């Protein structure tokens, strides 16, 4: 296990560094392997310093999961451009690096195995899912409205649920066996499938 070079830093930065060390441990050895001792070794600090910032292993794991969820969603939620460009970018971002890679999958899989039995992780997961879906609903509403089509909340919600499921499945396939697909094949599959769902072509980027 490689050790991070730890330095004196403001509290926010130090917490960030400890969370990064936690994610490194989880990616390498799963949640069970991310002990306070191993996190301390990875971060190059004492276990006592970790307990100064986090009251328990459970708390640092919760904060680490928030970071995982944020990294899977934040880029997609900040897309810009026309309604078509923003919807297309949202799709592409979710199926390409760095959102879709083996490390993201390893971290997600480690946490998802605990979501059903840990209320705190379940709440974080739900918050992340709803934030992602709400962002997608907004993109769909703008896209449909720009074409004078039905952009009612109920329709956008239904489409967002279906599209989210489609993206999740393709993301999982790409992370697990990306070498089985040609370059951009999963993105092309997603775009054509989503166009069929919404009944409209999504214009390519200018």
**Measured between alpha carbons, how far is 92 from 90 in angstroms, rounded to an integer?**
6
Q: Which residue has the higher pLDDT, 4 or 131?
A: 131
Query: pLDDT tens digits, residue range 158-191?
Result: 999 999 999 999 999 999 998 999 989 999 999 9
**118-to-68, 85, 114, 184, 199 alpha-carbon distances in Å:** 16, 38, 6, 36, 40
Query: pLDDT tens digits, residue range 68-100?
Result: 998 888 877 789 999 999 999 999 999 998 898
Place 6 in a pLDDT band, splitting at 50, 70 and 90. Answer: very low
pLDDT at residue 19, as a whole number: 95
Name all domains of the chain by residue range, CATH numbers in brackets. 11-54 (1.10.10.60), 66-198 (1.10.357.10)
């Amino acid at each position: 296990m490689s050790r991070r070079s730890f330095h004196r830093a403001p509290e926010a930065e130090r917490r960030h560094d400890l969370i990064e060390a936690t994610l490194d441990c989880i990616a390498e050895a799963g949640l069970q392997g991310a002990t306070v001792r191993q996190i301390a070794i990875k971060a190059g600090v004492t276990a006592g310093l970790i307990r100064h910032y986090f009251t328990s292993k459970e708390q640092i794991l919760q904060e680490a999961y928030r970071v995982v969820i944020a990294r899977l969603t934040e880029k997609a939620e900040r897309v810009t451009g026309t309604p078509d460009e923003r919807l297309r970018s949202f799709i592409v971002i979710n199926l390409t690096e760095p959102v879709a890679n083996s490390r993201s999958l390893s971290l997600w899989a480690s946490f998802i195995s605990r979501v059903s039995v840990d209320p705190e992780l379940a709440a974080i997961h739900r918050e992340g899912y709803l934030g992602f879906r709400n962002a997608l609903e907004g993109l769909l509403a703008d896209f449909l409205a720009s074409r004078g089509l039905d952009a009612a909340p109920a329709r956008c919600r239904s489409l967002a649920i279906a599209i989210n499921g489609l993206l999740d499945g393709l993301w999982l396939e790409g992370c697990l066996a990306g070498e089985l697909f040609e370059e951009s094949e999963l993105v092309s599959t997603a775009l054509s499938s989503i166009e069929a769902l919404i009944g409209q072509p999504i214009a390519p980027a200018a």
